[in-house]
Structures are given as structure tokens and as C-alpha cells.
Amino acid sequence: FDMVLSHRQVASTFKPFLYATALENNISPCTYLKNVQKVYPEYHNWEPQNFDHTSTKDSTVALWYALVNSMNLPTLDLYFMTGREKLLNTCNRLHFPSTNDDSPSIALGTLDLSLYEVVRAYGAFANKGEMAEPVMINKITDAKGTVLYERKNAQTEKVFSEKTTDMITAILQKAINQGTGTRIRNQYAFRADLAGKTGTAQDYTNAWFVAYTPDLVVGTWVGATSPDIHFYSGNGSGSTLALPIVGHVLRAMEHNARWRKHYLTHFTIPEAVSNDLNCTPYKQTGIRGFFYRLFHWRK
């Protein structure tokens, strides 16, 4: 039984695929999303919450900030804004398993994916929108060095535009530097360019962390054979269980000159992408927001 190929609830590591779909459909990274908790009667009175159980009725959240901090309520607002069919089209392009579940919870990562499928899909972000099938063997030689087998160049599929992947990478760099993945900087003192995303499944049954550079994708899943065995607290989160494994690996690579040069390369993100992220995380709404802006205008 290959655990790399086994399907597990992917949790918030799925969110970048929804956000990429939104960007592909001309939704701006500075679009402001609702951060309001509500009940969905049509889905068995489902009442989703943010991980920290907070919400705001008098302000909205910028799209980029919602992904950096893996916020659930704004993500659901983005899901309805983008449309289920467009998201499923993205899943098909990424060769994810099909689903008959029509619940909006797919936006929060209830889809079951394998570590193999997740790493392959994140490779599209690292590779400017081109997705390739991972391979195990490049070349086989005999004892004298004669080449017995050498694989052909991998065929890639265009699944996202370069503009979209540049934006997702810029946002996921923020997730590493100031969001849910900061532990890799603070605790493991990793300094090279990195983009990444944590994931914590319901009831802490699965912990995920995926990180990438332009030349490397590292994915980690931590969980038990059965989802009945799980943590009951934040000790089972992606940042606590899965991220440290990647942290140790990347720190060792950064201390090795050959690995560092080959794998820990710099992102080339156009300045225009950074400019497109230049908006405040929150924006006031309603009459309170009006007086707030009026006060600052007069000042």
C-alpha cells in the first residue's frame, strides 16, 4: 500500500487552486471578500468557521490576505463568486479525481487527493503554469557507464497562465514570510526564496505542507492509516506536524553549496505583480466605513 498514492482529505493545501481559478477569470488579488459566518440550510445547516473562530461583519478582506492567512469564510465567498463549474474545470486540468459532491466545502479542501497529485499540481505553480508528470528515473547505465536507458524530455501541459502563477507564487511567498508558514523562517532559519501552503484537515486527521522554489517542490503529508486516529488540538495542524519535516530538509539543503545552487533558486516575479498586491488587508464597509474614510480625508 503506497502512502504517497493514497487519497486523503487535502484541506487548505487545495485553496491555491481555487484562488488561481479566480485569477484566471479576471478576479483581482485586491478584490475584497466577505468574512461573515453564516449557516447554509441547503447544505444540512452547515456552518463553517475560520480556523481561529473569528469573523467580521463591518469589514471585508483582500483576496491576497485571505489566502496568506488561509481564511475559510472569505474563501467560501470567493468560491461562490468564481463558480463551481470553473473550479471543477481547473480540477480536471490538474487531473484530480472527479467528485459528485456538490457542497461548497470543496473550496476548503474536502476533496481527497494523494501526495503525488498535490505535488504534481504545485509543480505547475513552480513551473510558470506548466504541469509535468513526475518521474523516478532519468537514466540507467551499466558498470562501464554505457547508457542503457535515458528518459525523454517530459511533456508538459499548460494549466495556468504565467500571470496567474506569478501572482499565486507572490501570495504564497507572503504565506511563508508573514502568514501560516512563518515557522519555517522563525524556527528553521531558512532564508532562500520559498512559496508554500499549510493544510489541516477536519478533526486534525491529516496535516499537510507543500513548498516550492522554481526548481523544487517538496510535499509532506502526516496522518494515520485510519482517519479515526487523530489529534484533538493544534498539535495536529499542518504547521506543527508537516512543516517541520520540510523545514529540516530545506535547512540541510541550504547548508549544502551544491544543493543550494541547484534547487534553492530565486523567483523572478515581475514588479507589476507586487504592485497589484498593494492594497490594504481589510476594508471597512457600511456607514462606519464611510465616516472612517471621511475622517482621514479631512485629516
Question: What local confidence, expressed as pLDDT, does residue 288 receive?
Answer: 55
Residue-by-residue DSSP string for 20-37: HHHHHTT--TT-EEEE--
Q: Give phi and psi for 224, each to the nearest 5.
A: -95, 165
pTM here is 0.92
Contact criterion met (CB below 8 Å) for 19 and 168: yes
- Amino acid identity, position 165: T
**Coil, strand, or helix at residue 205?**
coil
pLDDT band at 18 (very low <50, low <70, confident <90, very high): very high
Per-residue model confidence as pLDDT tens digits over 89-142 = 999 999 999 998 899 999 999 999 999 999 999 999 999 999 999 888 989 999
- Amino acid identity, position 91: C
Residue 266 has pLDDT above 60, yes or no: yes
Strand partners, 40: 46
